[in-house]
Amino acid sequence: MKVEKRIKTIVYLPLTVAMASLAHSLSPTGLFFLAILAIAFYLDLTKEFYISGKILTALGILLTLFFFTLALRTPFEAIAYWIMSLSIIKILGKKAMRDLKQIVALSFFNFVDSAIFHYSFVFLIYLVLYIVSASIALLIITFLDDKKETSLRVDLLNTLRNFGIGFGIATTLMSLFFFIILPRSPYVLLRAQIYSPTRREGFGNELQMGRVEYMNRRDQILMRVKPLMKRHDEFLYIRGNVYNVYKKETWIRDPENLTGWNYKGKENYKSKTFAFQITLEPMSTKALYVPDYPEYIDVRGIPYTESWGKVFLTRESEIARKVQYKAFSSSAPDETYPKGVDFLSVPEKYTSLIDSLIEKENLKGTTPLETAQKIKVYFLKNFQYSLEIAGDTNWVDRFLKTRKGHCEYFATLAALILRREGIPSRIVAGYLTKEWNIFGNYFIVRTKHAHTWVEYYFNNQWLSFDPTPPFEEKPGALSKLSEYIDYLSYLWTTQVLEFSFSNQIRIFNALQTSMKKLFRKNVLSLLGYLLALFILTAAITFLFKRSKERLHPATVYYRKFEKILKSKGYKITPAMTSKEIANLIISFEAIDFLDEYNKCRFSGNCDLEQLKRKFENFRRSIS
Amino acid sequence: MPRKPKPFVSYVKLKKWGRYYAALTLLLGFAAVNSGNNLLYFFLAALLSIMALSGFISYLSLKSIQLSITPPEELYAKTINYLKVKVKNRGFLPLFLIYAKKSDKERVLFDVIPPSGSKEGLLPYFFEKRGYNKVESIFVGTTFPLSFTIREMYYPLNLNLLVFPHIHKIKREVKVENPENTGWGVESSKEGAIGDFMGLREYAFQDKISRIHWKKIKDEKLYVKKFEDENFQVLSLDISSNATEEEIEKVASLAVHFLELGHSVGLKIDGKTAIPPDSGIQQKIKILQKLALLGYES
Query: Could you tell me if A176 and A306 lie in one domain?
Result: no
Do A261 and A275 meet the contact criterion of CB atoms below 8 Å apart? no
A550 neighbourhood in chain B, CB within 8 Å: 116
A105 neighbourhood in chain B, CB within 8 Å: 20
Q: Cβ–Cβ of B39/A115 closer than 8 Å?
A: yes
- What are A396-433's pLDDT values in tens digits? 778 888 888 888 889 999 999 999 999 999 999 999 99
Is residue A187 in some structural domain?
Answer: no
Last residue of a domain, one of A484, A513, A548: A548
Confidence tier at B3 by pLDDT (50, 70, 90): low
Query: Could you tell me if A378 and A439 lie in one domain?
Result: yes
With an 8 Å Cβ cutoff, is A160 touching chain B? Answer: yes
| Cα dihedral A608, A611, A616, A622 sign | negative
What is the distance between the alpha carbons of residues A148 and A140, in angstroms, rounded to a whole number? Answer: 12
B20 neighbourhood in chain A, CB within 8 Å: 105
pLDDT at B186 (0 to 100): 34
Is residue A198 in some structural domain?
Answer: no
pLDDT at A274 (0 to 100): 86
Is residue A188 in some structural domain?
Answer: no
Query: Could you tell me if A314 and A362 lie in one domain?
Result: yes
Give residue ranges of B with CB < 8 Å to any A CB: 17, 20, 24, 28-29, 31-46, 48-50, 52-53, 57, 90, 92, 94, 96-97, 109, 111-112, 116, 143-147
Last residue of a domain, one of A481, A496, A511: A496
- What are A146-184's pLDDT values in tens digits? 766 445 777 888 888 888 999 999 999 999 999 999 988
What is the distance between the alpha carbons of residues A378 and A398, in angstroms, rounded to a whole number? Answer: 17
State phi, psi for A483 to the nearest 5 degrees: -65, -40
Query: Could you tell me if A484 and A513 lie in one domain?
Result: no
Confidence tier at B205 by pLDDT (50, 70, 90): low
Looking at chain B, the whole-number percentage of residues with pLDDT higher than 70 is 77
pLDDT at A237 (0 to 100): 93
pLDDT at A50 (0 to 100): 83
Q: Give the right CATH number for B197-293 from 3.40.50, 2.60.40, 3.30.110, 2.60.120.
A: 3.30.110
B37 neighbourhood in chain A, CB within 8 Å: 115-116, 192, 194
pLDDT at A262 (0 to 100): 60
B24 neighbourhood in chain A, CB within 8 Å: 108
Q: Within 10 Å of residue A427's Cβ, how many Cβ atoms?
A: 25
Q: Which CATH architecture has domain B10-163?
A: Sandwich (2.60)
Query: Could you tell me if A528 and A557 lie in one domain?
Result: no
Q: Within 10 Å of residue A206's Cβ, how many Cβ atoms?
A: 15
Is residue A289 in some structural domain?
Answer: yes
Out of A211-215, B190-194, B224-228, least confident range: B190-194
Q: Cβ–Cβ of A498/B38 closer than 8 Å?
A: yes
Q: Please compute the mean of the pLDDT values over residues A210-227 and round it to a whole number.
A: 83
Which among A245, A240, A452, A425 is positioned nearest to A337, based on CA atoms? A425
Q: Cβ–Cβ of B46/A175 closer than 8 Å?
A: yes
- What are A542-560's pLDDT values in tens digits? 887 766 566 777 888 888 8
Query: Could you tell me if A557 and A541 lie in one domain?
Result: no
A498 neighbourhood in chain B, CB within 8 Å: 38
Mean pLDDT of chain A: 84
Query: Could you tell me if A419 and A485 lie in one domain?
Result: yes
Q: How far is A265 from chain B (nearest CA, A)?
A: 27
pLDDT at A387 (0 to 100): 77
Q: Cβ–Cβ of B112/A112 closer than 8 Å?
A: no
> Contacts by A269-274 with C-beta closer than 8 Å and gap 24+?
A269/A295, A269/A296, A269/A328, A269/A330, A272/A330, A272/A331, A272/A332, A273/A328, A273/A329, A273/A330, A274/A227, A274/A229, A274/A232, A274/A328, A274/A329, A274/A330
If contacts are CB pairs under 8 Å, which of residues 439-498 in chain A contact chain B? 496-498
| Cα dihedral B107, B111, B115, B119 sign | negative
Residue of B nearest to A159 (CA): B94
The set of residues, in sequence order, having a beta carbon less than 8 Å from that of A438 and lying 6+ positions away, is: A483
If contacts are CB pairs under 8 Å, which of residues 282-311 in chain A contact chain B? 301
Is residue A605 in some structural domain?
Answer: yes
Query: Could you tell me if A605 and A530 lie in one domain?
Result: no
Is residue A186 in some structural domain?
Answer: no
Q: Within 10 Å of residue A243's Cβ, how many Cβ atoms?
A: 23
Which residue would you say has higher pLDDT here, A622 or B141?
A: B141
Residue A252, pLDDT > 50, answer yes
pLDDT at A255 (0 to 100): 86
Q: Within 10 Å of residue B244's Cβ, how many Cβ atoms?
A: 10
Helix, coil or strand: residue A174:
helix
Query: Could you tell me if A451 and A349 lie in one domain?
Result: yes
Q: Cβ–Cβ of B40/A188 closer than 8 Å?
A: no
Residue range of the domain that includes A394: 206-496
Is residue A366 in some structural domain?
Answer: yes
Query: Could you tell me if A264 and A350 lie in one domain?
Result: yes
What is the distance between the alpha carbons of residues B241 and B295, in angstroms, rounded to a whole number? Answer: 6
Considering the entire predicted model, what is its pTM?
A: 0.70
Is residue A384 in some structural domain?
Answer: yes
Which residue would you say has higher pLDDT here, A466 or A188?
A: A466
What is the distance between the alpha carbons of residues A473 and A448, in angstroms, rounded to a whole number? Answer: 10
ipTM for the whole complex: 0.73
Q: Within 10 Å of residue A448's Cβ, how many Cβ atoms?
A: 21
Q: Please compute the mean of the pLDDT values over residues B259-273 and round it to a whole number.
A: 86
Q: How far is CA A526 from CA A132, A516, B89, in A?
A: 41, 12, 40
**Of how many residues is chain B composed?**
298
Query: Could you tell me if A307 and A398 lie in one domain?
Result: yes
Task: Kindly list the domain boundaries of chain B, sorted by start residue.
Answer: 10-163, 197-293
Which among A120, A76, A135, A197 is positioned nearest to A496, based on CA atoms? A120
Confidence tier at B182 by pLDDT (50, 70, 90): very low
Residue A340, pLDDT > 70, answer yes
pLDDT at A197 (0 to 100): 60
Query: Could you tell me if A141 and A228 lie in one domain?
Result: no
Out of A44-53, A59-68, A540-549, B99-108, least confident range: A540-549
Mutation target to probe the A interface, by most A beta carbons within 10 A, among B38, B148, B152 is B38
pLDDT at B225 (0 to 100): 66
Looking at chain A, the whole-number percentage of residues with pLDDT higher than 90 is 28
Out of A172-176, A349-353, B220-224, B253-257, least confident range: B220-224
Q: Within 10 Å of residue B33's Cβ, how many Cβ atoms?
A: 19
Q: How far is A601 from chain B (nearest CA, A)?
A: 18
Pairing outcome for strands B234-239 and B264-269? parallel
How many domains are contained in chain A? Answer: 4
Residue of B nearest to A121 (CA): B39
Largest Cα separation within chain A, whole Å, is 126
